[in-house]
Structure 1
Amino acid sequence: MRTVFAVASVATLASVAAAQSITGYGRFSCTTLVGGVPTPDQSLCTGLVSPGTGLPGGAQGDSPAPVGATCSLEIETGNYFCGIAGAPCTASTQCDNGFCSSTGGVPGTCQGGFTQACAGNDANCSGYLYCTSQQLVPTVSGMCGGLGAFCQDYTVGSSTLTDAQNEALFNQFCQSGYCGFLTGNCETHALLGQDCSFDPEFACATGLTCTTDTTTGAQTCTIASASARARTRARRSGDLARRNVCPSSHSACSVPGAKGFECIDTSSNIEQCGACASEGGVDCTQIEGAAAVGCVAGVCEIWSCAEGFTYNEAKGACVA
């Protein structure tokens, strides 16, 4: 099972900002705006650096950057990216993930865009597109960025962004235009009257809002009033993204006095041991009489007591 969303590194934040202004599934934008019109700039495809580890076999964001890639148009957005599906090539190393169709030295094109079959192999997909689901199983659609395909690469998104901003980034990686925020897979928006409980914030199509029936508790998409839309925007902008935005070993804990959050390993963090502070986690450093403490498997451990205190094994505490 994949991690749905991890906090971006400092290096990644720059790519996040670029991705927000230049939409598309490619990892490396080569778009410049000339008079507001997207224009290709081949020079931007030189010296590319992978947004992730730069090693093959991991997330799409981890794969090595292409070398000698051609700046090409992404038809779906009208923007340009280095080595995406459709770019001319003679070797797969010139492609941003996916592969080159060249055979016998005859020039080909990079493969792995939307609607292209991928045979259950993520390596066949271009850029940030996936072939398998968040659970690492082939999808029914069997297409890159198709329904059921994973769409929340860990190198994309940031804890400094709102849920809505992160969702907008992830949506780019689905042919349907909707990445399920809670599932991490490409889905289709729910329509009027349809169930939206699987993703109350983002499941409903434009103009609709997820409403809970006060009698039955059922959640369905209804026509959004002006006030409802305003409340939804406010709720999304203030959301601390506590659902599945951190590695499975971490929890998304709110930052006091701020709107953001940080990913905390509550199994070992001595200030938020066992859970986030806002959810009942223990600050081991505040244990009375303790001089040295640790958090092991989500439980505070006292390693030594302060002067004037002795450890009482029966009580599991330092006593005066």
Structure 2
Amino acid sequence: MPSRAAAYVSTVLLLLSLVPHASAACAPGTFTPDGGRDCIPCPPGTYSDATDQATCKQARPGYFAPPGATSETPCAAGSYSAGLAARCTLCYPGSYCPGEANVAPTLCAPGTFSGVAGAEACCSCCAGWYSEEEGAITCTSCPSRGPFKQGYSPVGGSSADDCVAAIGARDSCSQISNTCPNTGGALPSGGVQKRSPPRTQRLRCAPAHSKCPVYGIAYGRGYTRGYECVDTQSDLERCGGCVDGDSWDGARSAGGGRDCSAIPDVDAVRCARGQCIIERCRRGYIIHDGGTACRPLFVASGWR
């Protein structure tokens, strides 16, 4: 006859055998509805970041979550999402998406365009080109003006009214991949610049500013409309001095200034301490001449 102790142990073991074994916790990226034992992967556009979740969280606008995600991820620059997205959508041509977590594309402003999907910024219309409406995918070339088959307009022109009879227009203005075209854009001889209202020659400028002429055109001839104060140490279009109209290719003009934006084949440039600093050349070109010009890669390398 078994002892009482032995009988107790047998009873406990029997009861334990009747208790269901606890199931493993459902991992992040899954959920278990209604407290069931099945762990189900989170559907596309949702995620779970903890164990044993009854539901999955929805990815917010500007974010995405693939199936079984443990977190939401911000959309990269050039893309967007409206929320509950499994993947981000590239911004369509005529728009751009700057930075991360865009919830919708932004239309390109008049005077700019984007001819590719996934743009992080819009390109300015080139000299001699313009776009009048938001969301442009191309720019329109200036119509003929005077003796010129194609008129000239400043970079970023937004109307045919910006086109004048002058040289300096670019032959083309198309976008390749995410690289904007060389816009040109310095004031050609006898051209017109859109500036703040010019003032008389008696204008007094603050320290470190220069008094630069503003040019106009009338009856096919150029003239000086007035003057304005310019910080030639940092002004992109009049870097190092005034531009007197002879710098349409980015060369230093007789007035001592240089239009950095007109340097051929430049993709990114700035003016610092009166010097044009090229930060990046367009594809197929490299920085040359001490950072003051761009040259074709095969020429600068000495290839033939």
Which is richer in helix?
1
Structure of greater Rg = 2
In the superposition, the TM-score normalised over structure 1's length comes to: 0.24
In the superposition, the TM-score normalised over structure 2's length comes to: 0.25
